[in-house]
Protein backbone atom coordinates (compact mmCIF):
# COMPACT_ATOMS: atom_id res chain seq x y z
CA UNK A 1 0.00 0.00 0.00
CA UNK A 2 1.38 3.38 -0.99
CA UNK A 3 1.51 6.59 0.95
CA UNK A 4 -1.94 8.13 0.85
CA UNK A 5 -2.83 11.77 0.63
CA UNK A 6 -6.28 13.25 0.36
CA UNK A 7 -8.37 16.35 0.01
CA UNK A 8 -10.21 18.25 2.69
CA UNK A 9 -13.85 17.52 3.35
CA UNK A 10 -16.48 19.36 1.42
CA UNK A 11 -19.80 20.60 2.66
CA UNK A 12 -22.44 19.38 0.23
CA UNK A 13 -25.80 20.71 1.39
CA UNK A 14 -28.81 22.57 0.16
CA UNK A 15 -30.74 25.37 1.76
CA UNK A 16 -34.44 25.25 0.93
CA UNK A 17 -36.34 28.53 1.13
CA UNK A 18 -39.85 27.49 2.13
CA UNK A 19 -42.82 29.87 2.05
CA UNK A 20 -45.55 30.12 4.70
CA UNK A 21 -47.53 27.40 2.90
CA UNK A 22 -44.63 24.94 3.23
CA UNK A 23 -43.78 25.08 -0.49
CA UNK A 24 -40.11 25.21 -1.47
CA UNK A 25 -39.60 28.41 -3.45
CA UNK A 26 -35.83 28.14 -3.98
CA UNK A 27 -33.19 25.52 -3.33
CA UNK A 28 -29.72 26.94 -2.90
CA UNK A 29 -26.88 24.45 -3.32
CA UNK A 30 -23.98 24.84 -0.92
CA UNK A 31 -20.75 23.14 -1.99
CA UNK A 32 -17.76 24.37 -0.02
CA UNK A 33 -14.27 23.07 0.60
CA UNK A 34 -13.85 23.69 4.32
CA UNK A 35 -10.11 24.33 4.17
CA UNK A 36 -10.54 26.81 1.31
CA UNK A 37 -13.02 28.97 3.21
CA UNK A 38 -11.79 28.48 6.80
CA UNK A 39 -9.78 31.70 7.09
CA UNK A 40 -12.37 33.82 5.25
CA UNK A 41 -15.25 32.28 7.22
CA UNK A 42 -13.56 33.00 10.53
CA UNK A 43 -12.76 36.58 9.50
CA UNK A 44 -16.32 37.20 8.27
CA UNK A 45 -17.83 35.61 11.37
CA UNK A 46 -15.64 37.72 13.69
CA UNK A 47 -16.61 40.81 11.68
CA UNK A 48 -20.26 39.90 12.26
CA UNK A 49 -19.72 39.41 16.01
CA UNK A 50 -17.97 42.79 16.32
CA UNK A 51 -20.73 44.51 14.35
CA UNK A 52 -23.37 42.91 16.60
CA UNK A 53 -21.52 44.03 19.72
CA UNK A 54 -21.12 47.59 18.42
CA UNK A 55 -24.80 47.73 17.50
CA UNK A 56 -25.87 46.41 20.92
CA UNK A 57 -23.66 48.94 22.70
CA UNK A 58 -25.05 51.83 20.65
CA UNK A 59 -28.64 50.87 21.33
CA UNK A 60 -27.93 51.52 25.00
CA UNK A 61 -26.39 54.94 24.29
CA UNK A 62 -28.22 58.23 24.68
CA UNK A 63 -27.91 61.62 23.05
CA UNK A 64 -28.42 63.49 19.78
CA UNK A 65 -25.91 61.57 17.72
CA UNK A 66 -27.37 58.23 18.75
CA UNK A 67 -29.68 57.97 15.72
CA UNK A 68 -26.83 58.50 13.25
CA UNK A 69 -24.53 56.14 15.12
CA UNK A 70 -27.21 53.45 15.31
CA UNK A 71 -27.87 53.83 11.59
CA UNK A 72 -24.15 53.40 10.80
CA UNK A 73 -23.99 50.40 13.13
CA UNK A 74 -27.04 48.85 11.43
CA UNK A 75 -25.38 49.32 8.03
CA UNK A 76 -22.15 47.74 9.31
CA UNK A 77 -24.13 44.83 10.75
CA UNK A 78 -25.98 44.37 7.47
CA UNK A 79 -22.73 44.40 5.49
CA UNK A 80 -21.22 41.82 7.85
CA UNK A 81 -24.22 39.52 7.38
CA UNK A 82 -24.14 39.95 3.60
CA UNK A 83 -20.41 39.20 3.52
CA UNK A 84 -20.88 35.97 5.44
CA UNK A 85 -23.88 34.92 3.34
CA UNK A 86 -22.01 35.76 0.11
CA UNK A 87 -19.07 33.59 1.19
CA UNK A 88 -21.29 30.59 1.92
CA UNK A 89 -24.07 30.92 -0.66
CA UNK A 90 -22.34 32.84 -3.45
CA UNK A 91 -23.72 35.93 -5.17
CA UNK A 92 -26.62 34.11 -6.81
CA UNK A 93 -27.66 32.36 -3.60
CA UNK A 94 -27.43 35.61 -1.68
CA UNK A 95 -29.69 37.34 -4.20
CA UNK A 96 -32.23 34.50 -3.94
CA UNK A 97 -32.24 34.80 -0.14
CA UNK A 98 -32.62 38.59 -0.23
CA UNK A 99 -35.41 38.34 -2.79
CA UNK A 100 -37.20 35.62 -0.83
CA UNK A 101 -37.19 37.58 2.45
CA UNK A 102 -38.06 40.85 0.66
CA UNK A 103 -36.65 43.23 3.27
CA UNK A 104 -37.55 41.17 6.35
CA UNK A 105 -33.97 41.05 7.60
CA UNK A 106 -34.69 39.94 11.16
CA UNK A 107 -36.69 36.96 9.88
CA UNK A 108 -33.91 36.21 7.39
CA UNK A 109 -31.31 36.20 10.15
CA UNK A 110 -33.45 34.08 12.47
CA UNK A 111 -33.96 31.48 9.76
CA UNK A 112 -30.69 31.42 7.82
CA UNK A 113 -28.06 32.05 10.50
CA UNK A 114 -28.71 28.68 12.23
CA UNK A 115 -27.66 26.96 8.97
CA UNK A 116 -24.30 28.66 9.32
CA UNK A 117 -23.90 27.98 13.04
CA UNK A 118 -25.16 24.38 12.93
CA UNK A 119 -23.84 23.16 9.56
CA UNK A 120 -21.06 25.32 8.17
CA UNK A 121 -19.23 26.42 11.35
CA UNK A 122 -18.92 22.89 12.84
CA UNK A 123 -17.58 21.54 9.53
CA UNK A 124 -15.01 24.33 9.27
CA UNK A 125 -13.99 23.86 12.93
CA UNK A 126 -13.68 20.07 12.55
CA UNK A 127 -11.52 20.49 9.45
CA UNK A 128 -9.28 22.99 11.25
CA UNK A 129 -8.87 20.62 14.21
CA UNK A 130 -7.99 17.72 11.90
CA UNK A 131 -5.52 19.88 10.00
CA UNK A 132 -3.82 20.92 13.26
CA UNK A 133 -3.63 17.29 14.33
CA UNK A 134 -2.07 16.23 11.00
CA UNK A 135 0.48 19.03 11.16
CA UNK A 136 1.36 18.11 14.75
CA UNK A 137 1.84 14.47 13.76
CA UNK A 138 3.87 15.31 10.66
CA UNK A 139 6.24 17.59 12.55
CA UNK A 140 6.37 15.63 15.80
CA UNK A 141 4.75 18.33 17.90
CA UNK A 142 3.62 16.95 21.28
CA UNK A 143 -0.13 16.85 21.89
CA UNK A 144 0.15 18.89 25.07
CA UNK A 145 1.35 21.93 23.13
CA UNK A 146 -1.36 24.50 22.57
CA UNK A 147 -1.83 26.11 19.19
CA UNK A 148 -2.45 29.81 18.99
CA UNK A 149 -4.97 31.26 16.60
Residue 106: its pLDDT value, please? 87
Overall pTM > 0.85 = no
Taking CB atoms within 8 Å and a gap of at least 24, the contacts of 82-89 are: 83/44, 83/47, 83/48, 84/41, 84/44, 84/45, 84/47, 84/48, 84/116, 85/112, 87/37, 87/40, 87/41, 87/44, 88/30, 88/32, 88/37, 88/41, 88/116, 88/120, 89/15, 89/28, 89/30
CB atoms within 10 A of CB 41: 22
- Look at residue 112 in the predicted model and tell me its pLDDT: 96
Q: Between residues 133 and 42, which one has the greater pLDDT?
A: 42
DSSP 78-105: HHHHHHHHHHHHHHHHHHHHHHHHTT-H
Mean pLDDT in residue range 37-61:
88
Backbone angle region of 22, left / alpha / beta, with phi > 0 → left and psi within -120 to 50 → alpha: left
pLDDT, the chain, mean: 87
Mean pLDDT computed over 42-55: 91
- Tens-digit pLDDT profile for residues 70-126: 888 889 989 999 999 999 999 999 999 999 999 898 899 999 999 999 999 998 888
Query: What number is the average pLDDT over the span 32-53?
Result: 90
* Residue, of 115 and 6, whose pLDDT is higher: 115
pLDDT band for 146, please (50, 70, 90 cuts): low
Amino acid sequence: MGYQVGRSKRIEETLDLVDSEGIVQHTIPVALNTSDIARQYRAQYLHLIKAQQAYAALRQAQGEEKAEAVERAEEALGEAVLGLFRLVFGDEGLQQILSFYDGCYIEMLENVLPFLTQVVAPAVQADAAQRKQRIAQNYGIPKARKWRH
